[in-house]
Amino acid sequence: MAVLCCLLWGSAFPAVKAGYALLHVAKTDTASQMLFAGWRFLAAGLILLVLAVLNRKPVAIPRAEVGRIVGLGLLQTTVQYVFFYVGLAHATGVKSSIMNATGAFFGVILAHFLFKDDRLTPRKIAGCLLGFAGVLAVNLGGKGLDFEFSLLGEGFVVVAAFVLAAASIWGKAISQKIDPMVMTGWQLAIGGTALLAIGEVAGGRLGGFDIRSLTLLAYMAGLSAAAFALWSLLIKHNPVGMLAVFNFLIPVFGVLLSAVFLHEPVLAWKNAAALALVCGGIWLVTRRGRPRPSTSSG
C-alpha cells in the first residue's frame, strides 16, 4: 500500500506539468495554479466523502474535532500545495521529485522527537545523510560545486515537503478519533476550497478545457483521493518513521515518469547519482538487522 501511494504521488509530477500546458497556465501565473490545485483537491475530497456515504460511514464531524479538521485541511492541503505548485512551476519535474524526498527525512526526524517508540538509530541517521547527499547531487551544476537552486523553485518544494511531514503526524493523532477516509475527504475538500478561493480572489483563470485536460484533472483527483486515504490509514496503524522512509520512492517514480512523459533527462550523471544515493538511503533505513544469536544454554 505504501509503495502504491508513492507511485501515485510520483505520477503527480509530470501530471501537474502536463496540466499547466493543457490548461494554458503560465509559469508565473500563481493564481491560476491555485485554481488548478483547488479543483483537483476539492474533487478528491468529494470522491472520498461520497465513497464513505456509500460504505455507510458517518461523515459528520464531531463538534470537538471541527477545528482540528479545518486546521489540518488548511495546513496539509492549502499551505502545502501553495508552496508545492509554485515550486513545481519553477523547477523541472525531475528535480522537484527528488527535492520532495526531503519530506521523508523530515518525517523520520519529527517522529524521533514526538514518539518514544520511533527513535532515530545510527542506521537511520546514516540513511538520512545518504539521502540528503542525493538531494545535493541533483542540484550540482556544470561548475561542480556551483549549486543551481532557487527559492521559488526547489526551495518551495522543500518547504512543502516539511509541511506535509508535520501535517501527516498531526493527522495520525486525529485519525484515532475519526475514520481515516472521512478525515481525508474533509481535509482535502476544505483545503481545496481554500485554494479555489485564493485563485479566484487573485484573478486566476483556466482555459483549454477539453477531453484531454478533463481526463487529466479527473486522474489527478483520483490519485489524490486514493493516495491520501491509503496513507492516512497506514499512518494510523504504523510508526511514522517507518512509513516516512517509503517516501524516498517518490523521486524514483517521479524521475522515471517525468522522463517518459515530459522527455526530461533521466540519465544525466547528477540525476543518476542522486537516485543511487536516495535508494541507498532507503536500503539503510528500512533493512532489518540480523537477530542476535541466543546465548542461553541447556
Query: How many residues does this entry show for the chain?
Result: 298
Say how far apart CA 254 and CA 240 lie, in whole Å: 22
**What is the DSSP code string of 93-156?**
HHHHHHHTTHHHHHHHHHHHHH-TTS---HHHHHHHHHHHHHHHHTTB-TTSS-B---IIIIIH
Mean pLDDT to the nearest integer, 17-37: 85
Are 124 and 286 in contact, with CB atoms under 8 Å apart? no
The Cα 242–Cα 235 span in angstroms is: 10
Mean pLDDT for the stretch of residues 197-223: 89
Mean residue pLDDT across the chain: 81
Are 86 and 25 in contact by the 8 Å Cβ rule? The answer is no
Taking only the tens place, the pLDDT of each residue in 213-259 is 899 999 999 999 999 889 888 888 887 777 777 777 777 777 777 77
Cell numbers of 151, please? 527559492
pLDDT over 90 at 290, yes or no: no
pTM, entire model: 0.79
Model confidence at 201: pLDDT above 80: yes
Quote the pLDDT of residue 44.
93
pLDDT of 282 strictly over 80: no
**CA–CA gap between residue 56 and residue 54 (Å, rounded):** 5
- Partnered with residue 147 across adjacent β-strands are 140
- CA–chain centroid gap for 248, Å, is 11
Q: Please compute, for residue 98, the number of CA atoms within 13 A of its CA located in the half-sphere on the CB side.
A: 30
Summarize the confidence of residues 192-208 as an average pLDDT.
90
